[in-house]
Amino acid sequence: MLVAAAFTSPAIAEKAAQSPAQKAESYYRQGIAAEKVGDPAAAIKAYQAALKVNPKHANAQYSLGQVKINSKAIAARGREAKLGAVVIPEYKLAQASLKDALEALELMVEKESKGAQAPSFIIQDPKGLLAKSEVTLVLKNTPTKVIIKYLLDQTGTKARYDEYAIVITPKPGQR
C-alpha cells in the first residue's frame, strides 16, 4: 500500500481525500462553469454527478431543473459567445444591403475561425421594411459580436440566436 501511495498524483490524492459534500460541490461548480460557456449537456452531467454523490445538494437539484428547462437558451448563448469572439481583421462596406453585409460577414467568420464557426443569417422581413436599408462600416480587428451590433444598430433590427441560424428581424415600431 505504501508503494502505491508513492505513485499517486497529488491531484488524485486530493480528490480521494475530499468528503462527499466537497465532491458534490466540486461537480456543482463544474455544472455552473458548463452553463456559463453554453454547454447544457455538460452542465446536466455535472449536476447529476453532484446529486449521485449527495442527493440532497439543493443547489444542484435546482440547477439541474433549470438547465433542463432552459437548455436551448443556454446553448444559444454559448453559440452567440463563440461566434462573437471571432475577430475580423477588416470589415469594410459602403452602402451595402443588409443581406450583402451579412453574407460578407458569414464568409469572413468562417475564414477567420478556420471553419470552426459558420454562421447562417436569416432575414425575416415579411413587410419589406429592410429592403432599402444600407450599411456603411469601416472596422479593423473587430470581434464579430461588435460588427453584428453595428449592423443591427444601423438597420434598426434585432437578432435571435436560434439552434441553426441567427434570425434578423426589424425592431418593433421601426420605420
Q: What is the CATH code of the structural domain delimited by 85-170?
A: 3.55.50.30
CATH level 3 topology of 12-81:
1.25.40
pTM of the model: 0.69
Confidence of residue 11 (pLDDT cuts 50, 70, 90): low
Same fold, 12-81 and 85-170: no
Kindly report, residue by residue over 16-54, the tens digit of the pLDDT.
668 888 999 999 999 999 999 889 999 999 999 999 999
Kindly report, residue by residue over 116-132, the tens digit of the pLDDT.
888 899 999 988 888 88
Domain boundaries, given as residue ranges, for the chain: 12-81, 85-170
Nearest Cα neighbor of 149 from 107, 105, 108, 94 is 105
- By DSSP bridging, strand 166-170 and strand 157-161 are antiparallel
Nearest Cα neighbor of 76 from 20, 37, 109, 118 is 37
